[in-house]
Amino acid sequence: MTPLADATPAGTLTTPAPLTDAQVAERVAAGHVNHVRRASSRSLGAILRANVFTLFNLILAIAAALVLATGSWPDAVFAVVMVVNAGIGIVTEYRAKRTLDHLSLLTESPARVRRSGADGAREVEVSLAEIVLDDVLLLATGDQVPADGSVLEVAGLEIDESMLTGESRSVRKQVGDDVLSGSVVVAGSASVHVTAVGADSYAQRIATEARRFSVARSELRDGINKVLAVVSVAIVPIALLLAWSQLRATGGLSESVSSGAWRDAVVAAVAGVVGMIPEGLVLLTSLNFALAAILLARQGVLVQELPAVEVLARVDVLCLDKTGTITDGTIGLRDRHVVLPGDGADDAARASRVDGALGVLAALAADPGANATALAAGEGIDQAPATATDAVPFSSARKWSAVRTAEHAYVLGGPDILLGGRDDDAARDTLAVVRSAAGEGARVVLLAEAPAGLPDPDHPLPRDLVPAVVCVLGEHVRPDAEQTLAYFHQQGVRTIVISGDDPETVGAIATGVRSGGPDQGDAPLAGYDARQLPAVADVDGKPDPEQLAALAEVLDEHGVYGRVRPEQKRAIVHALQSRGHVVAMTGDGVNDALALKDADLGIAMGNGAPATKAVARLVLVDGRFSTLPGVVGQGRRVMANMERVAGLFLTKTTYAALLAVAVVLLAVPYPFLPRHLTIVSSLTIGIPAFFLALPPNDTRYVPGFLRRVLTYAIPSGVVIGAGVLTAYLVSRAQGDPTVEARSVATLVLLALALWVLGIAARPWQHGRSWRFWLVIAMAACAAGAWAIPFARDFFALEVLDAGQLTLAAVVAVVGWALIEIAFRLIGSRARHPAIS
């Protein structure tokens, strides 16, 4: 094989020979080709595994298999919840994947390379994936660099590396300098020796590290999983003991096998066990997440993982990448200072001529590949541009452009270039304005008249240029940035601005959008130079705790950082998390990918790099920063409403577990048939929980979801379980048949569970009276189950006599009182403010 060419040493003009077709084929065969994995989101397999192989699904699948083994397939209908729950997650996340796969930064326009053929060197167009190691790549203004390389020949080359480094200012490149894949040519042209392709390139190395999958931490999901973990530990022994007790209640194992009663025993055991699983809570959580994802999609927010909608409701620190988040990455005009001669003789006419010159320069700059600085300098000019008779285009080598109109010639460029070495009054006055503006982190350009006519681009500028207009430029700040930051400050969320730009520039922009919050006052915010931040090294694959603590101390004191490297952004996230903060991170460049992945909530801009969107939990498709408050609102709605209804499900888990254990110890038939639990669960949990979980709720989230829910769910469940067991045993002791005793137990369970529902539906005032009528409607449906003969027969309920009704009423009233006392003494103090 032909030896691979060495990289061109920096500072030399040695140009390697263009590759022949044979050399290209050898490199392709060796794998030295620019083919990379371009998936912008999780694979379909990963989505299926995340939604199918869960602890919840495993428990229900085993229970369903046992019921089906008995031949009683109608009693296995609870497995539908498992299928629906998985389906919601798969469909929603797959739709997000399909959308993300169409959001790509790198265009598929062909690249130009120089290769050798029978007729000598020639330029050819190839796809990005056909570039090979040692190709001579030809770059021009507007191109995105598809592979890493070293500059061979250069003509005013300027590169925008903000996607990689966070530095928004373009970088001028000379022969021998490196260029990195993912950066953009903003001026000039060059030939580049390709030194790294595919997965070996800088951008792809960061992307590979970022692609290590991690899931969003969801307190709601974690809380449910903890409950399921406890249930899963207890479920096997309880199921076996419950099945044994039911076999004993039907006459023993041998008799049950001969009579076939073992099937009823298994079904009863599974019914008792499934009652312990809050399967409806998992389903309702998935439905709520899916609804939030749909509503957010209408606002231009793409949810990659369903639990991510809750995370922003818990965030207390928001890290903002300046470029692409607070600013949109383009240059805009901040101010324009007209420099007048001072005699007042022809000020108006001169100002009009100057505006005309700026207008024509801006018009010329609107052409593709032209200078964006001139376009920004001409912003806001209403009068029609003058007619250009000749022009000198901008060159980064010269640092100026020029235009000649019918009356005058003008030069636009850096003030130090146009007035360099001059010490006259006009130059001193102009440079004073320039220094004042530059001190605020702005970029300044000068428009000057050229009395001698259009300058010659091949000769130095004349020294008689007359300053006309000082244009103060800066990045375009998103119009919604300040308002959005104010919202987060009102919600108690601290904001930290980080950027690869100069700290002074970052501080000026952060001051303008008041990122310091209410305490900022009128004082300007000083940017902290991230090069002075404590270094954080990895120890056994984890950040050093002492170094993280030192970094966290600096972060406590400063809120604006410049010259931040990609690995420092990641360390900042880790340091904040080490202090117990829930951290959100926004960004759009490859340099943000690692920090977004490790943050509790990564938020990518829709026009960001594929690696960034792949690891982000949320993608702002249209790049509007102002959509984030809507995400907060959806997260709060999900968390507050799910906490409201979670108590209903966990109360059921508590009383189901208590009844299962009691039945095992007492060796009596289980108090309910599966259909009894179906009507109780539907009327006191399933149907009302669906309505209670959907309304808007903007109450700020308070940590401790599971602790608060269990604090009032366990006492309520104990009271209900004790009340049901008491009524059931007393009814049997009075000689009532099992079918009637089960009806008494069902009536008591309905009455007590409806009281718990009423507590969850509070408060009922201030436009929430519909909650009261919801409870009344469920009670009416429960009454209808006894009053309507068809429903009574379907649910195997019996008409109760006066004694049985009196027993149920006494137990229910006592239970109501105990539940209310337990709530007022214990539960109300622990409840979330949204449902207190």
CB 639 within 8 A of CB 705: yes
Provide the 8-state DSSP code for 323.
I
User: Measured in Å, how far apart are the chain's first and last C-alpha atoms?
Assistant: 76
Percentage of the chain beyond pLDDT 70 is 78
CB 439 within 8 A of CB 390: no
Write down the mean pLDDT value for the chain.
78
CB 648 within 8 A of CB 684: yes
CB 537 within 8 A of CB 513: no
- In sequence order, which ranges of 396-537 are alpha helices (DSSP H)? 415-418, 425-438, 481-490, 503-512
- pLDDT at residue 188 is higher than 80: no
Mean pLDDT of 729-757: 92
Q: Of 409, 469, 481, whose CA–CA distance to 445 is shortest? A: 469
Q: How far apart are CA 187 and CA 374, in angstroms?
A: 13
- pLDDT at residue 809 is higher than 60: yes
| Contacting residues for 624 by C-beta, under 8 A, at least 6 apart | 300, 478, 480
Among 110-119, 379-388, 671-680, 731-740, whose mean pLDDT is lowest? 379-388
Provide the 8-state DSSP code for 434.
H
Q: How far apart are CA 734 and CA 395, in angstroms?
A: 102
Residue in 321, 501, 592, 598 annotated catalytic: 321
- In sequence order, which ranges of 465-536 are alpha helices (DSSP H)? 481-490, 503-512
Q: How far apart are CA 784 and CA 764, in angstroms?
A: 25
CB 197 within 8 A of CB 33: yes
- pLDDT at residue 40 is higher than 60: no
Residue 782 confidence (pLDDT): 92
- pLDDT at residue 726 is higher than 90: yes
When pLDDT is cut at 50, 70 and 90, the band that residue 815 belongs to is very high
Between the alpha carbon of residue 416 and those of residues 421, 446, 461, 557, the distances in Å are: 8, 9, 12, 37
Residue 366 confidence (pLDDT): 45
Q: Of 219, 308, 138, 290, whose CA–CA distance to 704 is shortest? A: 219
Q: Of 577, 836, 614, whose CA–CA distance to 712 is shortest? A: 836
Q: How far apart are CA 226 and CA 753, in angstroms?
A: 24
Mean pLDDT of 542-568: 88
- pLDDT at residue 1 is higher than 50: no
Residue 491 confidence (pLDDT): 84
Query: Could you tell me how many helices (H) and strands (E) the chain has, helices first?
Result: 30, 24
DSSP codes, 623-658: --GGGHHHHHHHHHHHHHHHHHHHHHHHHHHHHHHH
Residue 62 confidence (pLDDT): 79
Q: How far apart are CA 362 and CA 336, in angstroms?
A: 14
Which H/E stretch holds residue 209? helix 202-210
**Range 716-728 burial, b when 16+ CB lie within 10 A, else e:** bbbbbbbbbbbbb
The Cα diameter of the chain in Å comes to 119
The reported pTM is: 0.65
Q: Is the model more confident about 695 or about 575?
A: 575
**Per-residue pLDDT tens over the stretch 411-467:** 888 887 888 778 787 788 788 777 777 656 567 888 888 888 888 887 888 888 888
**Per-residue pLDDT tens over the stretch 763-778:** 776 667 888 999 999 9
- In sequence order, which ranges of 329-470 are alpha helices (DSSP H)? 347-365, 372-377, 415-418, 425-438
321 is catalytic: yes
Q: How far apart are CA 637 and CA 292, in angstroms?
A: 9
CB 596 within 8 A of CB 616: yes
- pLDDT at residue 23 is higher than 70: yes
> How many degrees, rounded to 5, is the angle at CA 665 between CA 663 and CA 667?
60
Look at residue 544 and give its three-state secondary structure: coil
SS3 percent helix, strand, coil of the chain, rounded to 5, is 55, 15, 30
Strand ranges in 60-130 using DSSP code E only, listed in sequence order: 111-117, 120-126
Q: Is 223 left (phi over 0), alpha (psi -120 to 50) or beta?
A: alpha
Residue 93 confidence (pLDDT): 67
Query: Which of 208-217, 399-408, 578-587 is predicted most confidently?
Result: 578-587
ω into 566 cis (within 30 of 0): no
Q: How far apart are CA 807 and CA 733, in angstroms?
A: 12
> How many degrees, rounded to 5, is the angle at CA 740 between CA 735 and CA 745?
105
CB 783 within 8 A of CB 800: no
DSSP bridge pairs for 321: 498
Among 180-194, 224-238, 275-289, 346-360, whose mean pLDDT is lowest? 346-360
Q: Of 349, 403, 352, 351, whose CA–CA distance to 374 is shortest? A: 403
> How many degrees, rounded to 5, is the angle at CA 481 between CA 475 and CA 484?
170
Q: How far apart are CA 395 and CA 156, in angstroms?
A: 6
Q: What are phi and psi of 649, to 5 degrees?
A: -70, -40
| Contacting residues for 88 by C-beta, under 8 A, at least 6 apart | 283, 286, 287, 290
Q: Of 404, 67, 63, whose CA–CA distance to 236 is shortest? A: 63
Q: Is the model more confident about 107 or about 151?
A: 151
Residue 104 confidence (pLDDT): 41
